[in-house]
Structure 1
Amino acid sequence: MYKYIYWYKFATPTQDYKPVILLTGGSSEVGIATAKLLSEHPEYRLIVTARDLTNITPHITESDHVWVMPLDVVDEESRKTAVAKIFERWGRVDIYINTSDICYRSSLEETKDQDDLLHIQKNYLGPVSLIRMLLPKMRKNGKGKIINISSVSGLLAFPTMSSYSASKYALEGAMEALWYELRPFGIDVSLVQPGFIHSEQHSRIKFSESKSTSTDAHDRPYQDMYNDMIPFVASLKNRSLSTPQSIAELTYNVIRTERPPLWVPASFDAEFFYYFKRWFPRRIFLPFFYWLLPGSKHWGQKITRKHDTIWIVRAFRNIVRYLSRRLSPTELKKSSSS
């Protein structure tokens, strides 16, 4: 729907000015699709980067307006070297597109510190550090765009994806603050938020090394969640109409938009969750969403020791206790004497 809503804001660069686009995470499927699409538009100068270029070179051909170079967004020296080379050759970066992404599946309890750190470094710290290096030039030029490919997991956390959600929530929070900070200087900030993407790469699930493989149910308290969530997420991805190509086309439209919005839902499910979470009362949303998740009523039943009572019964008991205290002879005597 984006192109039908913001078409009147679309603009094309003039012949005497070719904006420089820096794209990180170019070896991902979304990164490759975005790089291929932008490389077909000579009105832009494009720098495609990745830590490992082997996945990029078969798809992208270098030319006078396309440049492929190594860049590990997590490594400080790699960031400094890449930015120095770009400024030396083309003198500027007008548009930064971050498609770097990593996702491991694990419950929070079974996630190792190193997995948390990897998510934060790859999905948050690295891109944000690179943005810091680009901002002085953008501010001096009085224009620029920062576009991050985020995720619906930055809006809504799913079980067994705590680290990934934490990194995306961090990115979303930082970019929201940055939107305010850069608005006076003519620099736009946008978060493209895909939901479930139909692609080979997004169908391959990576698990944390610490995920339990014991046959004892007490050593595998979250196994029911894995058993239900893995096929559930896989089915949503297989049915999704969102593809790396559709994300690339949306990103291109955001590039062309003068003053694009901060949040850009990139699929039907992302659009649904975006409005559903904002309109639904918070106290009701989480229990309702938990109830919607497949098999959630049976998670952990083999080993749980929780004392569960239907909330309406618990509320009735609390009312009875309150009334019994208020109507006790001692309370009545106190109220009559006063």
Structure 2
Amino acid sequence: MNLHQLKLFCAVVETGSFALAGERLHITQPALSIQVRRLELGLRTVLLRRNKKGPMLTDAGKVVYDAAKAIFEREDGLQRQLEEIRSGERGTLAVAISPTGVLYFASQLIQAFKRRFPAAAVIPTIGTREEVLERVAQGSADLGFEWGPITHPRLVHSALIRARFLVVTSPEHAFADKKVVRVSDFVHEPLVDLDHGPGTPSFVEQALLKAGIRPKTVLRVPSIDAMKSLIEANLGVGMLSDLSVEREVGLGLLKPLPLQGFPLARDLVVVSRKDGPISRATASFLEFAASYRAPVSARPRSR
């Protein structure tokens, strides 16, 4: 087994075809098949089952593929660090971001950093909370953006901004003319919320339940954008961070309102490794992030 064979194997898995993988890697299909077969012989197991629909991963193949991707992520991290040493300030920064309200602020911050340091290359990747933290801990990402607090033995975090969670409605909703939403009214409306999987309540749902607030109907959807689409269509109300609805509020597509007696806030944090060397690009970004102030937004004033 060698890294070259593992890369060829991963290409077959990702393209779903020996022919497409060969085209991507500029290698003939027979030569590619031979290398994958040699990998299987070296590991003494079948990694791919060949059939008319294309190669399919076996259980052993799934284990090898996941391990190979982890190896290549570490290799990429090493290459980036070496490249930065060679190029000085013109470094590459890999950041991992969760696809929540965090993404909206992080995008603004990265854009501002790029304007200040145009020679720096910032490569974002999107993943779940667990994936963001693991990528930073393993070194495949230099920094991560997540909701705090973070409890991880190999990571540290610092708060960048505090986001407020507000009731969000369509401008056509009955709540839109109010200054504040009463809990007694809120619980009777369908709540559009983010789906975190079976038995895993969202941050908002946990906070509501802890306060004894139980909406009668909860519509769970897979993304923030899906939430906003349903709310814009007046099919329910939601509780979203002010960071994630700035654009829609500014365009008049959504209306944010405080929930009476229920101030809910959460820190957005930047995550880095606790120990080990820190690159020049990472240090520059952390310094920039600490002093960054987002543009004036469409956040409603506290009432």
**TM bracket, shorter-chain basis:** under 0.3
TM-score relative to the length of structure 2: 0.27
Q: Which has the higher strand share?
A: 2
TM-score relative to the length of structure 1: 0.25
Structure showing greater Rg:
1
Q: Which has the higher contact order (CA 8 A, sep 6+)?
A: 2
